[in-house]
């Protein structure tokens, strides 16, 4: 599959996908990267000579993607809501750092998820990778991985523990979907 990866932040999930591609963990190719801002993660696009666009404009994003015959968009820490137009044009998946539907929906993104999990003294959290529909964090779940966080002493510990599993889970889902594609 030809992949487009959308980011807004550090891009460690993007980095993990680039490394998985180099290691031939899957046959898919990351053809394009989109961000709504000059995100730190765009450094991985530049280092690996992957085309990227910084834009908040839907039409511009669609125009940019057109040339790459994208089979799947991967949201990896992408914060803006995805438009109906994009949802109707592409198959889209998202990675969320909790066991949805717990700690999902409005306001639950990135560190906010881990803060709420930690405050509630959860013993387990995890990662969810799901299809994207018009509702937030609501599409069909493709993969969920539970993580024992009983040993996490801080929100940072928790975020690190989950992120490690995210990196492993996302490449597994790409491998699974390319077989089905
Ligand atoms: C990850 O925790 C992901 O689950 C969430 O945003 C974070 C992105 O991290 N959606 P990175 O930009 O891939 O490092």
Tens digit of pLDDT for each residue in 51-91? 999 999 999 999 999 999 999 999 999 999 999 999 999 99
Say whether 4 sits in a helix, a strand or coil: strand
- Of all protein residues, the one whose alpha carbon is nearest to atom 12 of ligand 1 is 11
Residue 38 near residue 46, CB atoms below 8 Å: no
> Average of pLDDT values for 119-142?
97
CATH code of the domain in which 140 resides: 3.40.50.170
Q: Using one digit for the tens of pLDDT, what is the confidence trace for 19-37?
A: 999 999 999 999 999 999 9
91 pairs with which residues across the strands? none
pLDDT for the residue 180? 86
pLDDT band at 103 (very low <50, low <70, confident <90, very high): very high
Q: Rounded to the nearest whole angstrom, what is the distance from the C-alpha of residue 166 to the centroid of ligand 1?
A: 8
Q: Rounded to the nearest whole angstrom, what is the distance from the C-alpha of residue 136 to the centroid of ligand 1?
A: 16
Catalytic (active site) residue 96:
yes
pLDDT for the residue 126? 98
pLDDT surpasses 90 at 181? no
Q: Using one digit for the tens of pLDDT, what is the confidence trace for 88-97?
A: 999 999 999 9
Q: β-strand 92-96 against 72-75: which pairing, if any? A: parallel
**Which residue segment(s) compose the domain that 20 sits in?**
2-180
Assigned token pair, 77: 């820490």
Q: State the chain's mean pLDDT as an integer.
A: 97
Residue 122 Cβ contacting ligand 1 at under 6 Å: no
Model-wide pTM > 0.85: yes
- Which residues fall within 8 angstroms of residue 102, CB to CB, at 6 or more apart? none
Q: How many domains does the chain have?
A: 1
Residue 167 Cβ contacting ligand 1 at under 6 Å: no
Nearest alpha carbon to residue 76 among 124, 123, 10, 137: 10
Residues 170, 70: Cα–Cα separation, whole Å: 17
């Amino acid at each position: 599959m030809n992949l487009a990866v959308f980011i807004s932040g550090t891009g460690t999930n993007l980095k993990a996908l680039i490394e998985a591609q180099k290691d031939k963990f899957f046959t898919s190719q990351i053809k394009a990267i989109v961000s709504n801002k000059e995100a730190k993660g765009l450094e991985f696009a530049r280092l690996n000579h992957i085309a990227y666009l910084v834009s908040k404009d839907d039409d511009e994003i669609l125009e940019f993607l057109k040339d790459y015959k994208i089979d799947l968009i991967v949201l990896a820490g992408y914060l803006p809501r995805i438009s109906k137009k994009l949802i109707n044009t592409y198959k889209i998946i998202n990675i969320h750092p909790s066991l949805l539907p717990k700690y999902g929906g409005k306001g639950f993104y990135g560190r906010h998820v881990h803060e709420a999990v930690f405050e509630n003294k959860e013993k387990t959290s995890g990662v969810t990778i799901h299809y994207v529909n018009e509702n937030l964090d609501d599409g069909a779940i493709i993969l969920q991985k539970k993580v024992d966080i009983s040993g996490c002493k801080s929100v940072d510990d928790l975020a690190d523990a989950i992120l490690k599993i995210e990196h492993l889970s996302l490449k597994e889902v790409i491998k699974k979907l390319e077989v089905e594609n």
